[in-house]
Chains A and B, each alone.
With several copies, the nearest count.
Chain A
Amino acid sequence: MDLRFTAEEIAFRDEVRAFFRSEIPQAIRDKVSAGRHLSKQDIVTSQRILHARGWAVPHWPVQWGGQNWTPVQRYIFNTEMQSEAVPPPLPFGAQMVGPVLYTFGNAAQQQRFLPRIAAIEDWWCQGFSEPGSGSDLASLRTRAVRDGDRYVVDGQKTWTTLAQYADWIFALVRTDPLAKKQEGISFLLIDMRSPGITVCPIVTIDGGREVNEVFFDSVRVPVENLVGQENKGWDYAKFLLGNERSGIARIGVTKERLRRVKRLALETPDGDGVLWDDPAFRKQVAEVEIELKALELTQLRVVAADSKRASGKPDPASSILKIKGSELQQAATELLLRIAGPYAAPFMPEPENDDALSNAWPVGPDWAAPIAPQYFNTRKVSIYGGSNEIQRNIIAKAILGL
């Protein structure tokens, strides 16, 4: 047992870190760090730089552009990416539909879609959640009826992140209305330019427009866009949801936020000195740092165990990572909120283009405006991807046997 990184792992970390710092535009990384919204172009730019280096989809099979890294290397890569405030490759392609396609898709689908996902030539979005189905995903009601060589899709998806930019959506649809809940569901790839699709924004409490409702009104989808077998979509969805958990705790994101906490507290006046001088404040930071260090090691233990597990089955311990990871992301935003103090209050809408930003006048410190929206927005991380309550149910059953 040696919990330290090996010399090779440290060299890898340094290589990755240096690349992120020198190659990803500082302006994009600053936006991530400040909690501002990224434009579509920011995400595309960043992913294409990674793609040029062969790092957009390192966890994929080598034949589709993967890197054959060890789990520890993947962990290092993801954590450094988060820690250096690099926008991750669009997850709906790289993390979600990509692995489903190279695992369950046919050769035509793989050849058609995988290279474009890696290079972000197509923008994908996810069509799983529906208004009536939150934690109870399998209760979904969007239906697809076979009509010759087409499916006709009717229904509604919700919480569809960045659907406003999307070229494609992968969707769970009900193809057998008589089957039991999970058994009549299929996994379809749908062109977002198809007639009958409407995208409506959902404005979130932070003022952001990240998520959308997507309506399907007699949308015709070629049967060749069915992934795997009809009525087996639930299996692929479970695979997708359990896949690639090594980034789930988002350790790097919280690390980056905590560095920011210290930096901002050092420049925030408080009495005769700065907020960082206050031992009570530093103890609050220390509490989060300690839990984060513990979680990082817990995550590495899961990563190490993962490399010895039969693939495909997610480790239920990853639910621990989700719970603590989301709590710590939230705790870091609460520290930022505390630093901003009274200057959390002013609402400064984000301008549409980056030039306008530099002309905006701040109230209080120029970093303060996105702090409260980030705090508000980050409440979602304990809700999405299986709420923390669902995660606790999973652990109780799968680990404790209760």
Chain B
Amino acid sequence: MDFDLSGEQTLLQDSIGRLIADHYGDFARRAEYARQPDGFSAELWAKFAELGLLGLPFAEADGGSGGGAVETMIVMEALGRGLVLEPYFASIVLGGGFIRTAGHPLIARVIDGSARLALAHAERQSRYHLHDVAATARPDGSGWVLDGEKSLVLHGDSATHYIVSARSGGGRREAAGLMLFVIEANSAGVSRRGYATQDGLRAAEVSLQGARVTGDAWLGSAALLDAVIDTAIAAQCAEAVGAMAALQALTVDYLKQRRQFGAAIGSFQVLQHRAVDMLIAVEQARSMAMYAAMMANDPDPAARRAAVAAAKVQVNRSSRLVGQEAIQLHGGIAMTMEYQAGHYFKRLAMIETLFGDTEHHLAVVAAAL
């Protein structure tokens, strides 16, 4: 057992930390990035590529740096601290997870930043049932024809390629018959409608109508989907920890500065104890984010799933407590768009709903006891 980062991991942490501090240290710049055409800073995305961050999870043979779940955790936590808009999670963690295992020729373009992936999987009826897919994949010669309506595609409005789930057989919520394909966003039969999300990021509704792919567009089946989603949840746990740790620190700073009734409000014992409970929530979430990272590649899918679900429950609960208490302890100022606290609160609230809410994952853990 070893909680220390390796030398390389420490370098990674420093480098991503500096990058985020440089670009997001002045919080007002976030709104500027959000107003750019793709909803994030093209310049910063290029920096990500330049520093090799976009190659993190890919094998060295493919031009990546062969990072694992711990490296992803380090990067995601830093992105969470900065409330970063760039599609690292969508393209590298989520999208990358599908082509990484396939050793796909697209990898080089993902690493240099010119290709950006997005997972077009959720559908209107699916809620948190991961295998609830109605979109169809019909064989067509050596390729496939895809039809269906995909919803809530993270960063789907600027992606160059979609990872699409579709069904070649099996019942609506069955694993059997589920297939994953990669398709260019500008293919015939693919259309999208982009929009902003509550946390200032971007998403899209994606429609597939007779969209054709060749046979080598097939990436895998339900087991691949399950594995990538679990690593994605682990990564988002780390992002949430970064965001809530920053929010907790911001709140403690505010308690020290803000004066009422002739004293810093941080001198009031009630607020002290509630700040302590925020800290405890952050530390418990951090422990579980580490646990999720450790278990994200566990060879036993059931153990992996139970561990990731447990982490998600803890992280969600901590997110809600830290988010709500940060607002309450700040008072009115945290309700304003101008101040950073509310944006952390909103981002944490949105992460809570991604890939299953607290009750969903609690049921997973309970069933596995």
A interface with B by C-beta (< 8 Å): 1-6, 9, 72, 129, 133-136, 139, 158-159, 202-205, 207, 262, 268-271, 279-287, 289-291, 293-298, 300-301, 304-305, 317, 320, 323-324, 337-338, 340-348, 361, 363-364, 372-373, 375-377, 379-380, 382-384, 387-389, 392-393, 395-396, 399-402
Contacts and interface: CB of A to CB of B under 8 A. Distances in A.
B369 A286 contact: yes
A76 to B, nearest CB: 9
Given A134-B332, A205-B343, A387-B328, A402 B369 contact: no
A90 B173 CA distance: 51
B329 to A, nearest CB: 9
20 contacts: A3-B1, A133-B260, A204-B337, A279-B363, A286-B313, A286-B366, A287-B362, A298-B287, A305-B3, A341-B353, A342-B127, A346-B198, A347-B197, A372-B346, A376-B198, A380-B335, A388-B328, A392-B277, A400-B276, A401-B256
Given A283-B363, A286-B362, A297-B287, A345 B350 contact: yes
A285 to B, nearest CB: 6
A392 B272 contact: yes
Interface residues of B, number: 83
B337 A203 contact: yes
A349 to B, nearest CB: 8
Interface stretch (B85-93, B104-112, B221-229, B288-296): B288-296
A73 B365 CA distance: 29
Interface in B1-22: 1-6, 9
A280 B363 CA distance: 9
A294 B287 contact: yes
B217 interface: no
B353 A205 contact: no
Interface in B325-350: 327-328, 331-332, 334-338, 342-343, 345-346, 349-350
Contacts of B70: 1
Looking at B5, B270, B272, B369, which has the most chain A CB atoms within 10 Å of its CB?
B369
Contacts of A375: 349
Interface stretch (B47-55, B57-65, B161-169, B278-286): B278-286
B331 A345 contact: no
B273 A383 contact: no
A400 B1 contact: no
A3 B3 contact: yes
A384 B284 contact: no
Contacts of B1: 2-6, 9, 72, 300, 304
Given A1-B3, A383-B335, 17 more contacts: A3-B290, A271-B132, A271-B173, A286-B310, A289-B369, A342-B122, A342-B127, A345-B199, A347-B195, A364-B124, A376-B345, A376-B349, A379-B324, A396-B276, A402-B252, A402-B266, A402-B272
A372 B198 contact: yes
B335 A204 contact: yes
A300 B294 CA distance: 14
A284 B363 CA distance: 10
B350 A361 contact: no
A361 to B, nearest CB: 7
Given A1-B2, A387-B328, A401 B252 contact: yes
Given A297-B288, A383-B331, A341 B349 contact: no
Contact of B203 (A280, A300, A345, A377): A345
B152 A384 contact: no
B271 to A, nearest CB: 7
A283 B359 CA distance: 9
Minimum-distance CB pairs A-B, first 6: A205-B342, A297-B287, A396-B272, A282-B366, A203-B337, A136-B260
A342 B2 contact: no
Contact of B198 (A9, A304, A373): A373
Contacts of B205: 363
B267 A342 contact: no
A317 to B, nearest CB: 8
